Amino acid sequence: MSEVDPPIKSQLTLLREQSDVLERSRKAWLNDSLGGAPLWKLDYAVSDICYLLATLDEPEAIKQGKRWVKLQQKLSEGIVWLRTIDLLRDSLSKSELNKIASAVARLSSRPVSKCHKLMAKPEWVRIRRWWFGYLESLSPRDPAEVLTIAMTERAEHRFLKLRNRVLKHDNDRDWLKLEDATGELKAILSLHAASNRGYQVRASLLNDIESHLRLWRQAHARQPLLKLLSETPEVDDRTRLAESIAEIRLQERLSAHRRKERVRKLLIKSSDD
């Protein structure tokens, strides 16, 4: 290893770092639960934890990953509502926000309340208990001792399969699966990357792809919620307000389209490298 190569971090070290991100994101949201950015960051950290757990390739790690995915699914609708509210707050006037306040509260109350319950101390203590109990059972290991050729090949195959599928068919479900496949392969190559320049370059490209896919997913997920809002009496009976919501929906569709186009270019680049 040359003097400029970064030190190799074990999966345990990386899992603890992502656990710190979880803690900070949760606390930030509890301090200002009107905004969705901290929980969106928490969602990213949960995904990164799941990708790292997959590199351990053993039954208990798989079990822990399923627990995190289950939590992520419970939080997902509430997070999207909070991020949609962020968008509305940034896009509408104070007068317009006041007119839709009751509709937004009615539609978002249940999923956002679920987020409050899951992030509250009693539930979080339970989550911390099983998670940190698992981390304590792990010992730091050189990733080279854990990662196998077969594991890397499986991740490569899944990524390539989904890359080819989205480039050919443009199915949103495949785009969502591609985000996971990209994250899994990036995690594996990043663990290899400390001693391999080629892996460093590929991991960096995959990181760019994943970042755009995450932003596409956000724009994609907000569109049906904006449609629901546009169909409420509070909006439907007000022409100018309805036009404002329609414009926001259009901008989200365009944003999602631009993200897909950017990902397509990166996917083509990845096939050329």
Please, which pLDDT band fits residue 1 given cuts at 50, 70 and 90? very low
The yes-or-no verdict on residue 243 having pLDDT over 90 is: yes
Pairwise CA distance, residues 46 & 214, whole Å: 13
Do 79 and 44 meet the contact criterion of CB atoms below 8 Å apart? no
- Across the chain, what does the average pLDDT equal? 93
Please, which pLDDT band fits residue 2 given cuts at 50, 70 and 90? very low
Closest Cα to residue 145, out of 51, 19, 50, 57? Answer: 57
Please tell me the number of Cα atoms within 13 Å of 44 on its side-chain side.
20
* pLDDT, mean of residues 199-206: 91
- The model carries a pTM of 0.92
The yes-or-no verdict on residue 263 having pLDDT over 90 is: yes
pLDDT at 146: 82
Q: Which two tokens stand for residue 153?
A: 């090949």
Pairwise CA distance, residues 84 & 243, whole Å: 17
The yes-or-no verdict on residue 49 having pLDDT over 80 is: yes
Do 229 and 103 meet the contact criterion of CB atoms below 8 Å apart? yes
How many of the other CB atoms lie within 10 Å of CB of 220? 21
The yes-or-no verdict on residue 124 having pLDDT over 50 is: yes
The pairs formed by 88-94 with CB atoms below 8 angstroms and a separation of 24 or more are: 88/248, 91/244, 91/248, 92/244, 92/248
The yes-or-no verdict on residue 114 having pLDDT over 90 is: yes
pLDDT at 6: 60
The sign one gets for the Cα dihedral 159, 162, 167, 172 is negative
pLDDT at 270: 79
The yes-or-no verdict on residue 4 having pLDDT over 70 is: no
CA-to-CA dists, residue 266 to 158, 182, 213, 250, angstroms: 17, 12, 11, 25
Do 146 and 57 meet the contact criterion of CB atoms below 8 Å apart? yes
Domain ranges of the chain: 8-145, 147-273
Closest Cα to residue 46, out of 73, 82, 86? Answer: 73
The yes-or-no verdict on residue 169 having pLDDT over 80 is: yes
Pairwise CA distance, residues 36 & 104, whole Å: 14
pLDDT at 273: 61
pLDDT at 143: 82
pLDDT at 194: 66
Do 216 and 175 meet the contact criterion of CB atoms below 8 Å apart? yes
The yes-or-no verdict on residue 272 having pLDDT over 80 is: no
* pLDDT, mean of residues 253-271: 94
Pairwise CA distance, residues 179 & 160, whole Å: 12
Q: Hey, is 15 helix, strand or coil?
A: helix
3-state secondary structure 97-146: HHHHHHHHHHHHHHHHHHHHHHHCHHHHHHHHHHHHHHHHHCCCCCHHHH
* pLDDT, mean of residues 252-257: 97
Q: List, for residues 172-190, the tens digit of each pLDDT value.
A: 999 999 999 999 999 999 9
* pLDDT, mean of residues 148-174: 95
